[in-house]
Structures are given as structure tokens and as C-alpha cells.
Structure 1
Amino acid sequence: MSRVTFEISELMSMKKYPKELFYRGNLELLQRRKISIVGSRKPTKYSRMLIQKLSSELAKGGVCVVSGGAMGIDATAHIGASSANTIAVLPCGVDVRYPAVNKNLLESIEQSGLLLSQFENGFKASPWSFVVRNELVVALGDVLVVGEAEIQSGTMRSVEFALAMGKEIFVLPQRLGESCGTNRLLKEKKAEAIYDIEA
């Protein structure tokens, strides 16, 4: 485990700049253009398929994908980008494999991508640390992409951070009755729909 000792300009948009960050992996990814992708831990097959394709296309274009290392949309985004083109921001210490189901994915990102955390080794994820993690994920990206989200969800808290930071938000177009959070964002004109992934 190492500490990041230099200032990361993107984090100046956070309400409170982190006192220190811990990492394992390739810090050079922080110098690349970055896009944050977040969403449901239990996405539909449609959302999962399109987020994987989007992440892959972004990586091909030299963009680093930032997400939270969780199940669902997060893991799909990391996998689509490939470990070498992704940053996983954790709600726990960088030595903790959480969630356990993503153990192999997180180890792969450690080897060729970048794990980041505001928490020291051994720290176990707690309800408040997910909120802290979400803010950092949003701050690192130039824009925020929301793959799928219900109205009462942690993902929508990430959207609140993005709005407060003045970041553009993009969402997948969804069917009525599904992903009500992103559909509301479109209705309220707080987000733009992604209609062409390869454009």
C-alpha cells in the first residue's frame, strides 16, 4: 500500500479534499482522460450489455473508466474497459477484497490498473464509507455516466454529487417502469441520453 502525496486537480471539486489517498497499481492512469460510470448492483441484461460495450469503446479511445468496484454496473464497466484502462475506487482498504465476488477482478485491476481508497489497509466497508467512495468516483471523471438506477438508491446520491460539481450526466435510454432514477433525470433535463455508443 502506498499513499498519493501529490495534488489531484480533479478532486478540488469535492466538498472536502481528501487528507490522503491510498493506492495499488498504475498511478499514470490518473493523467488520462477519465469518465466515471456508476449504476445498479442488479442491472438488467440490456444495461449490462450496453455499459460493457460503452466501456470497451471508451478504452479503445484512450479513456480511463472510473467506477466503484461493486457488483453490477461497476464490475461491468471495469471489465468492459479491461483492467489496464480502469480505476476502481474502494469503500474499504486497498488490501480488502470487497465485495468478495469481485476478488479476481480487483486483483487484476491491482496488477494492471489502479485501486484507490481514502481508507487505510484493513478498513472494512461501512454505510458511510460508500458515500465517501461515491463522491471520489464522481470527482475523478470528466463526466458521469449512469447505467441504471432506481430513485431511492446509492447511485442517485452519486448523481447529487455530480450535479453539485457541475458535471455533465449521461444515461442509457430505458423502458418505462425500469431505471426510474435515470428516466426522471431525462424528464427533468438533468441528463442527456446516450443514443450512439460508437459515435
Structure 2
Amino acid sequence: MVKREAAMEQYWHWFCAQLFSDPGLERRLLDRFGTPETIFKVKEEELLKSFPGNQGRLSALCAGRKKWDFSRETERLARLDIQFVSICHPDYPARLKRIGDAPCGLFYRGLLPSDALPSVAVVGARSCSAYGRNVCLWFAEELAARNVQIISGMARGIDGISHRGALAAGGRTFGILAGGVDRCYPEENRDIYMELEKKGGLLSESPPGIRPFTYLFPLRNRILSGLADAVLIIEAKEKSGTLITADYALEQGREVYAVPGPLGEPLSAGCHNLIRQGAGLAVSPERLLEDLMILPGFNMKNMQKNKITLERSENLVYSCLRLQAQNLGEICQKTELSPEEALSVLAKLQLKGYAREVSKNYYAAVRPQGQT
């Protein structure tokens, strides 16, 4: 069984190394043929016939598989100290797996983000102000000190600063790269790159050797938000590329928070627009932790222990609640329960001290005792 799983991972490695820049084609091929192994073995004529609009790409794929040496490529990863995990492997990050366009595989150095710990993606302006720098350090250090994993893109400005803040607090932080994880970009952040290998991780959808081409960054951004429970935006111009990550986060059902900035400053415009459109207002790390239900003194063991006491339906509803009240319709939409079912579960949660009715059909989460 172990040998079979290892063999399947090798086919996934081949598949992802060839098609990393075209997730849509990856999905269509898998929908048609089922597994990378089948795709590797299917006749070229059948492959081309199945997708007449992708003749060039698929011809190159077929030519490449003739040259692919599984042992050599596995040894190459080992030599570069790079690991690979497919979407079918149990180690693949659970948060990321749940998004609609999750990458079929990840190449990484160091660790993968833990599913047992909360995580926040921090992104923002490359040319940040002194205000942005100070705010970013404040949030990153405080969140990391509370066992919140910091996810960012290792770029200049806010990204790099968030990694530095998390490292300074002794926390876990992960850099999501557009190019291969064997390529440090930008070079000025090499010290962060080296630290992330030891005290967190470097992850990419791109195989080793791939340069960080411009078109890969938007693809990278969906992974950034997909690995996080929430996305925090610190400084962004009105048409900043940072807002792509915010868009992905909203599509993925993630919470989006923005730090307000000085009025009239171009670097504040993007965040102020997000807040006007309904993003959470991030005024302090403590408030953000409260909104995410990660309070000072947060203890993961206590949280897991308390959650075990809930029935499956109660856990489902409780996971959708926030400290800010939500109406019954929103809860039903998130849980796909009928109003009658949701009300029944909410009544049980209130009796157990996990929820409260703020006003007619508006419910908020309550932190159980032991999670203060």
C-alpha cells in the first residue's frame, strides 16, 4: 500500500510539474480521465481528441512524458531539499483543499501550515509607509504570539515585514511563492527566505527552477488566501494588485479585514474602499483576535476539548457563528440547514453556553468557559 501511494504521488508530481500554470486544464483532464496515472498512460490520439482546443499544450505534454524519468525527478527534489504533496495526500493543507480551484499539488521547503492552528494572511503595499510598517509589525507580532500562523507572499514591503514580525515573536510563518521554492524572490529578502526554511515553510504551485513570471502572481494569490482563515490588508492603493487577494478571499468565503489609514493618503484608498464595501475594520490585533474568536489566553487543546462535547450539527452551526450577531437566514445559508433545523440547534447551543440570541433571530457566538 505504501509503495502504491508513493507511486501515485510520483504521477501527481509529473502532472503538476507539467501543468502548474494552467489549473483549469488540470481540472478538465482530471474530470475526463480521473487520475494523473491514467493521463500519463492514455494514448496521445485520445488525449488530443478529448480536448481539441488545447492541441498545442497537450502535444507538449505528451512529448514531455516520453522524457520524464520518475526516479531522476524524485532524486532531484531530494537533492534540492524540496518536498511535494498532492491534493490526494493526507498531509495536504485542509483549508486549501476546500477551495474550488485548489492547486493539485504543492512543492515546499520546511513545513506545511498546520490544520490545527489558526492562520491569517497578511498582504499589502510593496512601497509601504512608515505607518504601514509599524502597524504591520504590531499585528504580525501579536498574532504570531497567540499561535496564529502568518501567511504572506515574501514580497517587498508589507509581505516581508509581516514575516519579520512573526519571526521576531517566535511564531510560525509561511511564504507563498510565485516561482519555484528554490528561487528566492526578491533577492533583498534572502534573510527571510533562509529563516522561513527553518521556522516555517516556503510553498509554491510551481516546480523548482521556474522563475516568478508576472502571470504566476495572481495564481499564487488564491493559494495565499486559501491557506488562511482570514485575510488582513495593510495599505493598498485604489487599484492595487493586493486587492486581487481580497477578491479571492471573498470568493473562498474567507473573512477580509482592512487597516484604516490617514485620510487623503493614496495608500489608504484601497483599504478604505474595502471597509466601505463591508470588510472588517482592523483597529488592533486584540479586536481582530476577538472577531476570529481567538482571544488572549487562547489554548488550542482547550478549544478542541470543548468542541468534542458538541454534536455534529452543533459544531456545524457553531463554526459559522461570530462574536458579531448574524441573522438566521445567513446561518441557514452557510450551514444549508432549514430554519427549523437551525433554530433547534441554536437552542441547544444556547443551553450549553455556546451561543446567545442578541435580538429576534439574530445570534452570536459565546466563548465557552475554559477559553477565556
Q: What's the TM-score once normalised by structure 2's chain length?
A: 0.51
In the TM superposition, 1:85-164 aligns within 5 A as 85-164=172-251
AA in 2 matched with 1:123: I
Is it true that 1:39 corresponds to 2:127 in the alignment? no
| Contact preservation (8 Å) 2:113, 2:149 | no
| Contact preservation (8 Å) 1:29, 1:85 | no
| Contact preservation (8 Å) 1:29, 1:113 | no
Is it true that 1:4 corresponds to 2:85 in the alignment? yes
Overall identity of the aligned pairs, in %: 32
Comparing 170-179 with 125-134, greater Cα deviation is found at 170-179
Q: 1:198/1:84 Cα in 2 relative to 1: closer, same or farther (>3 Å)? A: closer
Q: 1:55 aligns with which of 95, 120, 140?
A: 140
The offset of 1:26, in angstroms, is: 2.0
Q: Distance in 1 between matches of 2:204 and 2:255?
A: 24
Comparing 23-32 with 34-43, greater Cα deviation is found at 23-32
| Contact preservation (8 Å) 2:147, 2:171 | no
Structure 1 segments of 4 or more deviating over 4 A? none
Match of 1:186?
275
AA in 1 matched with 2:276: K
Q: Distance in 1 between matches of 2:257 and 2:191?
A: 29
RCO comparison, higher one (Cα < 8 Å, 6+) = 1
Q: Distance in 2 between matches of 1:180 and 1:40?
A: 12
Task: Kindly tell me the number of residue pairs found equivalent between the two proteins.
Answer: 198
The offset of 1:16, in angstroms, is: 1.7
| Contact preservation (8 Å) 2:143, 2:285 | no
Match of 1:66?
151
Match of 2:285?
197
The offset of 1:14, in angstroms, is: 3.2
Question: Structure 2: any 5+ residue segments left out of the alignment?
Answer: 1-81, 288-372
Question: Structure 1: any 5+ residue segments left out of the alignment?
Answer: none
Q: 1:10/1:28 Cα in 2 relative to 1: closer, same or farther (>3 Å)? A: closer
The offset of 1:80, in angstroms, is: 0.4
| Contact preservation (8 Å) 2:175, 2:201 | yes
Q: Secondary structure at the match of 1:27?
A: coil
The offset of 1:177, in angstroms, is: 2.3
AA in 2 matched with 1:4: V
AA in 2 matched with 1:143: A
Q: 1:44/1:92 Cα in 2 relative to 1: closer, same or farther (>3 Å)? A: same
Q: Secondary structure at the match of 1:22?
A: strand
Q: Distance in 1 between matches of 2:107 and 2:115?
A: 13
The offset of 1:30, in angstroms, is: 4.9
Q: Distance in 1 between matches of 2:127 and 2:94?
A: 33
Q: Distance in 2 between matches of 1:74 and 1:10?
A: 21
Q: Distance in 1 between matches of 2:115 and 2:135?
A: 25
| Contact preservation (8 Å) 2:174, 2:196 | yes
Q: Distance in 2 between matches of 1:156 and 1:95?
A: 27
